[in-house]
């Protein structure tokens, strides 16, 4: 079952994620996202989060037209 997220809420989440990316210094963003030996960085995590949220926005807009 898919959860429906109102487009206004989705837009707010996307803006918040962009704000986080801008607020976190580059040297912190280059750090691993966890302490389990992963090669994925905080920046990669934020990029993935933003990309995923933006893909839901496209689906939501496409379905509502």
Q: How confident is the model at residue 27 (pLDDT cuts 50, 70, 90)?
A: very high
Structure tokens at 65: 């037209």
Residues 6+ apart with CB under 8 A from 14: 50, 53, 54, 57
Structure confidence by residue, pLDDT tens digits, 47-65: 999 999 998 866 656 665 4
Structure confidence by residue, pLDDT tens digits, 32-42: 999 999 999 99
Structure confidence by residue, pLDDT tens digits, 5-21: 888 899 999 999 999 99
> Which tops the pLDDT comparison, 2 or 36?
36
Structure tokens at 1: 């079952």
Structure tokens at 51: 């990309």
Structure tokens at 4: 């429906």
């Amino acid at each position: 079952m898919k959860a429906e997220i109102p487009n206004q809420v989705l837009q707010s989440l996307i803006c918040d994620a962009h704000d986080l990316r801008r607020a976190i210094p580059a040297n912190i963003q280059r750090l691993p996202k966890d302490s389990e030996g992963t090669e994925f960085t905080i920046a990669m995590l934020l990029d993935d989060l933003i990309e995923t949220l933006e893909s839901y926005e496209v689906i939501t807009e496409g379905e509502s037209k």
